[in-house]
Structure 1
Amino acid sequence: MALITLLTDFGYRDHYVAALKARLLQLAPATPVVDISHGVEPFNIAHAVHVLQAVFRDFPPGTVHLVGVDDHGAGPEPGWHAARFEGHYFVAGDNGILALLCNGEPEELVALPAAITPSPSRDVLLPAAVALAQGEPLTSLGPVITEFHRLNNRQVRLQDHRITGHVAHVDHYGNLITNISRTAVDAVGHGRGFAVHFGREVVRELHPHFSAAPPGEAVVVFNSQGCLCVGICQGNASELLGLNFDSQIDVRFPTE
């Protein structure tokens, strides 16, 4: 029996998470389950993708990830899909999450049966996740498809002496997590020092962690996923700097 993870925007105040788990206990009481989070901002696809991308590879191959965020899908006609990508399985609404998560195209994608239900995560996605966790082949869940709702990730712009990226996520502490990777910085920088520009601020020193700077100072680090991040030591960078999701962040290298 493979592991099932749960990522939803259900929150923690209501009964929705308990109802999902109660259904799981009815379908497969021995299935191991891990809650990634139920605190994704309601209907926030970008938030869900960021959280899942940051952690899904840490789970064993064959893990099934249920994504119950905006779970009715995009458009007037609801749709739900199951996909395989990098040795993992994903079940989600047809709302662009799979395109963003898989950088455009899953390795294999099937359509799940349509249903009229107030809770697609419980009634459509969960049975599919259980079937996959029990070893059913992906193609047993529905027909293979190639057409699905597509969204594109924000692309980093690389130049000889500059990288232009954006804030991909603001975390619980107000830290600004960008889409600029350590790999991109190394490829453009070739060992050169660099300055990070955001809003009216410039930071020229890279720190190993957010607490390495004096309290109240802006700090730039690479997180454990290799993403460039901007924070305020013991402060909320998003609020104090006035930057949010999609705000521009520049990395500039000396020209001489």
Structure 2
Amino acid sequence: MVSGELFGIDVHEPAEALPTLSPVIPCAVQPLNSEGYADYLWTGVDGRQQVERKTWYELLGGLDSIEDQLRRQLAAHPSIRLILIVEGVAVPSPTGTTIFKETTKGKRHLFYAGKSYFLGPMKGAYAWLYEVGKYMEVYQTPTYGSTLNMLASFYKADQKPEHTTFHRYLKDITFHPNPMVQRLMGMGGHLGIGATRAEALIKRFGTVYNVATATPEMLASVEGIGKAVAVKFLRGVGRPDV
């Protein structure tokens, strides 16, 4: 039985996976593929996740067999989220597609041209990845080291019960029955003009145009609108004279 508490690494994955990941996350090598799972498996707060890793060499070598494998994994464990990682650097060339390999020179990591495919299958691979993306998430990494870093990040993120990512960017959308107030909020929401201030300004000036063409002193005379807010708003809507 595969343990869900550890980050599982299939026995067929590169040997460097365990020594690279074990210092940062709890992991173990397990016979995942033989039990119908993908190459990596873990359990997070939202359930179990599995990742299948494929290289561009494998994709360009034959998409049908990869698709069959993904279908079998989905069928064997339909309740487990399946993610596909495509690894490597592939570049279209005048004669087809060239795969680049990584090498280290001093402190620099370089890529050099490796195997070339002269039948130009890269367009087909892109189309295939687009279609696969309708059924599972697809990520790309340049090297196996990058893949391991990504997997460790996935695992750590999955252990947190709540995330604040994007909370400071995604705000609740509110609609006002007065279209003038709504429009002013749309123009000045990021400039300090929320619903209360927009209502007060429209009540005083009547239209968005009148607000936008008023002087800072006129806007500041409205309760709740200080001089600094008035100047910020007018400059933000393109008033070069303020």
TM-score (norm 1): 0.28
TM-score (norm 2): 0.30
Bigger radius of gyration among the two: 2
Higher helix share: 2
